[in-house]
Structure 1
C-alpha cells in the first residue's frame, strides 16, 4: 500500500534502488549487496552486511499476505539472531505489518508455541539494570505489571531480509532479558549495546495461530520438519537429526564423540564417557505417547550428592515435531514420569510453596543436579559436569520442577507415567522394576526427612538476610536434597 512515508533512494553501499513500503520500517536489507540500510531523517545509511540466511522453516515467508482476525497483514521482513559468546542454533523473528492501521508486531515460533510482541513504552523509571536481573527472579515494570525473568543474555543479529522497524547493526552485541507473565504474557527487555543503541521494551503474549489466515487460503500452521541425517566427524556413523532447526549438540551413539551443529555440519569437540547402562528407550525409537507421536533423541544420566551418598536418575529427551516440541521422560528407581515444559511465568514459587493454575504445591526438596553421562541430540550445549539448582514442589497431579542455570530458568510439570503405558507406547518389554538411583544404606524416606530439615534451616537464614534488588532477586530456595528431578535444561 502506498503511503506518504514511502521513500526511494539509491543503496548507499551498492547504488541499487531502495524503497521503504511500510511507514514504520526504519531498516531494510538491500537485495543486491545484503547491507542493512537504515532510514534517517535525511538519508539512507549502510550499517553492516548480513550473512546468508539460515534455512529455518516458517509458513510466514516475506511477501506473504493474509488476515489476522479481520485485519489485513503483510509479512514484511525477518531477522535471525544467535546468542553472542555461545553461538549455537540461531532463531528468527518475523516482522508483520498492518498497512491499514500502521501498527506492527514481531512473531516468533519456538518449542511448539507462537509469540507476538510489539514495542511498548519504557517504564517511567526506565528498565532495571541488566546486571541486577537473575533467571527466576521477579521484575516489576511500572505500568505493565510483574514478570518472571526467564533468560538473561547477550545476542547479535547474524542475518535478515526485507524491512524491519528497527534492527541492531549485524554483529553488534546487545544485552537482553526475556520475561514471562502468569497468563501467557511474554516480553523482551532490549538493553542495546550500552552506547549508541537505546534500550527498548517489547511486550506481547502467546497466541493461537488459528487467528491468522494467509490469502492463499491456507491456515498458518506449524512449520514442517523432516528427520535428516549427519555423519559423525570421528567415526562416520550415520546420526539421525530430528530437529535441525534447534539442535545444538550431538553425542555420537557409536563412538561417544561430542559435536556442535552449525549450518547442518558437525564440528567434533572430543569424546565423552559412555553411559554405563543402555537406555531402556533406544535412541531413534518412535512412539505414540498420550496422543503425541514422539521420537527418543537423547539420553542423560544425572546425579547429586546428599550427606556423602551419590544418587542418580535417568532422563530421556523426546521430540514431537514442531507442534509438540521437546518433552522428557524421567526414571528413578523404577518409577517413571512424563515431564512437560511450562512457561516460567505460570508458576509462582514463594518460599515453601508454589502456585500453578490456582493450585498450591509444597516445597519437597532441592539439589545441585549434575550431568554424568550423555548421548544423543540436544537443544543446548550439554556437557559432562554441568549443573543446575533443581527445586521440586509436590502437589495435585504431580510435581513442579524448577531448574535454575546461570543464564536461564526452566520450569516443568512432572506427571506419573505407568511403566506399562510407556512400554506400550514404544512397543517395548516391561521396564525394569528398579533403576540406578540410591546410595546403599539410605532410604528415600530418610533422605526426604534430612532435606526438609535442611530446607527449613536455610529458609530461616535466607529470610533473615533477604532484601530488595531492583525486582530481580532469585526466588527459589537453594538446598541440598534427594534425587527426584527431571526435565534436563
Structure 2
C-alpha cells in the first residue's frame, strides 16, 4: 500500500486564511483549501489565491480523499476530487497519485468506474465540432467511435488538482470508445486540451482502503421535502440523479444535488412494477436490489400510431454497480451498460464487440413513459432515443442514441422461471411468464397440452378471419406490423457516460 509520507511534498500557508495547504504531487498546479475553500494556484514556492470554490454536493460516494489502493500492481492515493455537470447529469473525477510520482484519474462512468491516464492523440487535437457523434477515427492505429459530444461545467473541487477550468463556465467534452472497452476523453476546459485514456475497473478489484464507511453513509442519508406536495423524500442510493416522490409520484431532478433548485414533473401512475421497489434477488451469483423502474414505449419508423411497450428494472449491487432487468412480451433479459463502443458495419446491419459479431434485429424510437424509484442519471418523462437491437445467438447488444450521446448495453435472455425464483415471486408466476415459456422453452413454461389448445384456437381464429374477408367484396384490409420484443434488448436509456 502507499507509504504514509510521500516522496516529495510542498506545504505553504493558504493566502486566504493561513491554514496549511499541501501539494503531494509535483504535477498538481491547483488546490482547494479545506478550511476556507479558497482556490489557490502554485507558482514555484508561493501560493496565490485565485477565487473561492463552491461547496461539494454530497453524492454519497464510497470514495474519499486519502483512500488508497492498487492498480496493475502499483499503489496509489486519492488526493483530489472534481465535480462536473453536463447534459447527461453530474459526475466526479478523483485524482490518483501513484507512489512512483505518476498520476491518473478514477472517474464515474455510467454507473461504473474508469481508470484513465494522460495520453496523446499523436496529432493535433481536433476541434469539438470536427468530432461528430457516431463518427469513427483512428488513434495510434486503433479505431475509436465518438460516443459523447457535450458541454460541461466544473461545479466544485477538493484537494490538490491539475490545472482547472473556470468554475461555472461551459466547455466542450468529447468521449471516444473502442470495441475492446477503451475510453478516450478530451476536455476543452483548459489549453491545451488534456487527453485521457483508460478502461473500466471494479472498485473491489482496486483493493481500496480508507473508504467512507457504510454506517456513515446511512447516517448522512439525504432527506428533503417534495417540491410538489411537501412529503418527505429520502435518497438512499449513492449518486442518485433522479427520484420519484412516494406520495404524489412526481419525478424530481437531483442532478444539482439536494441543495440545488429541485425541478419536478407530475406524472400519473399508469403501470405498476411486478417486482416491488426495494426487493432483493440473486442473479448470476450476486444479490441485487431493485432501486428503479421505468416503463417505455417504442415504435418503428413511420408507425408511431402502432406502439409497443416494455419495462426496465434498475438493479444495484454495491460492488458490481448497476444492471437492467428488462421485461418485454417475448421474454426477460439482463443487460448492463458497456464501457466500450462496438464497431458498426457500413449501413449498420452488423455490430462487432469484444470479437463477437451481432446482427441487426430492429431499429426503432423509444420514449420514457413512466418512472419510479432512483436513477443515477437525470430521467425525464418524454425522453426519446433512437435505438438499434442486435443479436448473436442468445447474446444481446443494444444501442441508444440521443442528441449528444450514444450508449451501448450488452447482456442475455433470462427464462421467466429464473426471475420468479430470483425474487421469490412464485405467487406471481403467471404474471411474470413471457414468450420464452413455450413448449420448447427451458424456462418451465406452457406444457404440450396447453400448446396444442393454443394452436387449435389460432387455426379457428384464422379460418374465421379468412371467411370474413371472403364475404367482404368491397373492402380492402389495411396492413401493419407488430413488434413484441421492445426493450428486451435495451438497457440504459440514456444513462450516459461520465462526461
TM over 0.5: yes
Q: Work out whether residues 166 and 189 of structure 2, in 8 Å CA contact, stay in contact via their aligned partners in 1.
A: no
Q: Deviations over 1:122-172 (max 9, x none)?
A: 432x1222023234332333x363212222222222222221232223223
Alpha-carbon spacing, 1:286–1:361, altered in 2? closer, same or farther (3 Å): same
Q: Deviations over 1:195-245 (max 9, x none)?
A: xx331211122245566446xxx49899896587655343455555342x3
Q: Work out whether residues 251 and 377 of structure 1, in 8 Å CA contact, stay in contact via their aligned partners in 2.
A: yes
Q: Tell me, yes or no, if structure 1 residue 301 matches structure 2 residue 305.
A: no
- Measure how far apart 1:176 and its partner are: 0.9
2:341 is paired with a residue whose SS is: helix
2:422 is paired with a residue whose SS is: helix
Gaps of 5+ in 1: 436-440, 449-480
Q: Which residue in the other structure is 1:329 paired with?
A: 325
- Measure how far apart 1:366 and its partner are: 0.5
Measured in 2, the distance between the counterparts of 1:222 and 1:164 equals 25
Q: Which residue in the other structure is 1:318 paired with?
A: 314
- Measure how far apart 1:391 and its partner are: 0.8
Measured in 2, the distance between the counterparts of 1:307 and 1:483 equals 14
Q: Which residue in the other structure is 2:455 paired with?
A: none
Q: 1:171 aligns with which of 143, 168, 172?
A: 168
- Measure how far apart 1:31 and its partner are: 2.8
Q: Which residue in the other structure is 1:263 paired with?
A: 257
Q: Which residue in the other structure is 2:79 paired with?
A: 76
Whichever of the two has the greater Rg, that structure is 2
List aligned pairs for 1:80-479, cutoff 5 A: 80-83=83-86, 86=87, 88=89, 90-99=90-99, 101-111=100-110, 113-124=112-123, 126-141=124-139, 143=140, 145-192=142-189, 197-207=191-201, 209=203, 212-213=206-207, 218=209, 231-237=225-231, 239=233, 241-243=235-237, 245-261=238-254, 262-264=256-258, 269-296=263-290, 297-304=292-299, 306-307=302-303, 309-333=305-329, 335-346=331-342, 348-350=344-346, 351-428=348-425, 429-432=428-431, 446-447=481-482
- Measure how far apart 1:57 and its partner are: 4.6
Measured in 2, the distance between the counterparts of 1:381 and 1:209 equals 23
- Measure how far apart 1:15 and its partner are: 4.8
Measured in 1, the distance between the counterparts of 2:134 and 2:310 equals 25
Question: What TM-score do you get using the length of structure 2 for normalisation?
Answer: 0.76
- Measure how far apart 1:442 and its partner are: 9.3
Q: Which residue in the other structure is 1:46 paired with?
A: 49
Deviates more, 1:320-329 or 1:11-20: 11-20
Report how many residues are paired: 437
Q: Deviations over 1:12-44 (max 9, x none)?
A: 444555443321111111233212212235853
- Measure how far apart 1:387 and its partner are: 0.8
- Measure how far apart 1:404 and its partner are: 0.4
2:371 is paired with a residue whose SS is: strand
Q: Work out whether residues 67 and 211 of structure 2, in 8 Å CA contact, stay in contact via their aligned partners in 1.
A: no
Deviates more, 1:324-333 or 1:396-405: 324-333
1:97 is paired with a residue whose SS is: strand
- Measure how far apart 1:177 and its partner are: 1.0
Q: Work out whether residues 273 and 293 of structure 2, in 8 Å CA contact, stay in contact via their aligned partners in 1.
A: no
Q: Tell me, yes or no, if structure 1 residue 35 matches structure 2 residue 64.
A: no
Q: Which residue in the other structure is 1:22 paired with?
A: 25
Q: Deviations over 1:65-118 (max 9, x none)?
A: 5655554433322222222xx485x3222212234x332111224456332222
Measured in 1, the distance between the counterparts of 2:79 and 2:434 equals 56
Measured in 1, the distance between the counterparts of 2:60 and 2:234 equals 18
Alpha-carbon spacing, 1:236–1:248, altered in 2? closer, same or farther (3 Å): same
Q: Deviations over 1:436-470 (max 9, x none)?
A: xxxxx9999x557xxxxxxxxxxxxxxxxxxxxxx
Alpha-carbon spacing, 1:404–1:12, altered in 2? closer, same or farther (3 Å): same
- Measure how far apart 1:9 and its partner are: 4.8
Q: Work out whether residues 358 and 390 of structure 2, in 8 Å CA contact, stay in contact via their aligned partners in 1.
A: yes
Measured in 1, the distance between the counterparts of 2:73 and 2:323 equals 35
Gaps of 5+ in 2: 436-476, 495-499
Measured in 1, the distance between the counterparts of 2:111 and 2:374 equals 18
